Amino acid sequence: MLIPNNPDLDFQELNRRIEAEVERYKHKAADRPLPAFNPQPSNNHDRPYSWLQLVQLEDEALVRAAFPTLLGRKAESEELQRYLNRLRSGWDKFEILAELRDSPEGVRQNTPVEGLRRARMKNRIRRIPVLGKLAMTLYGLLQSEQRNRYYVARLDLLARQNRLQVSELHTLRDLSNAHASLLDDHQTYAEQQSLALQQQDQALHRQADEIRRLESELQEARSVQQELRMRLQQLERQPRTVMAAPGEAQAVVAVPEMQHQSGIPDSFYLAFENRFRGAAETIRERQAYYLPIIDSVAPLKAGLPLVDIGCGRGEWLQQLPEHCARIGIDLNSMNVQTCLDQGLTAHQQDALVWLANQPENSLGAVSAFHVIEHLSFEQFNTLLDECLRVLAPGGMIIFETPNPENIATAAHYFWMDPTHLSPLPPAFTEFLVQFKGFDQVQIHRLQPIPEEHHVHEDSEAARRINALFYGAQDYAVVAIKSLT
């Protein structure tokens, strides 16, 4: 604490302020770290201070702050050095302050000051020639004991402040060590995470290799399956030998021809279709459903043709995109002539015979609207085999036929055509096409009875009646030849 050796100062107030500042500094240091140490003198004292703040400064800070506070300007380098030399040679800081305050500049500035009466007296005595120096020497000897006590008190305060700073430095060092430990832990965790990610990546690579291996095996299995199917087809096409009784020669029975046989005149069947199937415009509207489906068939885009079996009057061929090559096949000479008159390419020939004469992978798509119900199972089976052979990889088949899920169609309308053999349930057709080796097999149910003819669905029985009697009248099976 400060020793009251100057009656012009309120030492109790100064001590209270010092203690308050020390407490504030402690709390402030606990909240945030100390500023970085800078051994260079700070220039932030070159501004005006209040009188109580000014008298608490020491050495260079005091001189720098005294000039703007008492004179209203910064100290020149010579003035700063001169007054520093006085302070460091034994002058009291209040004598420095009194000299500055009583100078002409200080009088004009007229800064309020307190407790300078003794300092002013000492300054006046110091100016007396010879006697002034003797008087100040005597005064210094008389005040030496009090000055020593003051310096001891100041040193004690500085020592306590130093211990506080050392303690705070130790705290900061502990915090720094803790922070370094956290950084080490974080680095260890990051390394562990990196190792885990590497292991995951390796596992994913192993899984990818396994998937590629399985895909390769699947590809090989598909190739083997396709080869076996082709061999089976060749065996099925070979003449079958009928075992004769002992002593008799064996007879060779040829497989029946695949060509469709019909004794119905072409003119009658054309008139029949015009009467019961509908006008050409109606057929075109229905078949327009398939245009978006064939839009993604790559072999058609590459220029391979679409072959329409049973092309009829050419409604489907007419509305194909311009870039799509097209060929019509029909047994009816009048239908073929109608297509030729429209500028379409058409052949009067049995479709199975025509397909058998085509090279492998030469067609982009094969369509047949209301044809497969005219074929026997053996003919339908052969048709699928030939389509699989002549279609390029990615080629498509579209076969539309009456839907026997609709009871009215299966029991009545199907039998209006005398050349129909038997209805083909969608589940069977889907299975057979898949069995033959086509991919992406889909069933499209088409032409439901308009809802205004439905029974009011106020019960489960009504819903079943609508499903069985008023559902889709036709369906189409759509499939793709595998790319491999």
pLDDT for position 259: 44
pLDDT for position 418: 79
pLDDT for position 169: 87
Q: Which residue has the tokens 């006046």?
A: 124
CA–CA distance, 212 with 220 (Å, rounded to integer): 12
Helices 77-88 and 93-101 pack at an angle, to 10 degrees, of 140
User: Residue type at 382?
Assistant: T
Would you kindly state where each structural domain of the chain is located, as residue ranges? Answer: 11-33+42-176, 266-481
- Please identify every stretch of the chain with a pLDDT value under 50, giving residue numbers as ranges: 39, 240-261
Residues 6+ apart with CB under 8 A from 64: 43, 45, 46, 74, 75, 80
- 86: its two tokens: 């006085």
CA–CA distance, 275 with 221 (Å, rounded to integer): 50
Q: Which alpha helices (H) appear in 360-457, and where do they start and end? A: 377-390, 407-411, 426-435
CA–CA distance, 286 with 474 (Å, rounded to integer): 11
Q: Does domain 266-481 have CATH number 3.40.50.150?
A: yes
CB-count exposure of residue 401 (10 Å: 0-12, 13-18, 19+): buried
Q: What is the pLDDT of residues 352-403, one digit of tens each?
A: 999 999 999 999 999 999 999 999 999 999 999 999 999 999 999 999 999 9
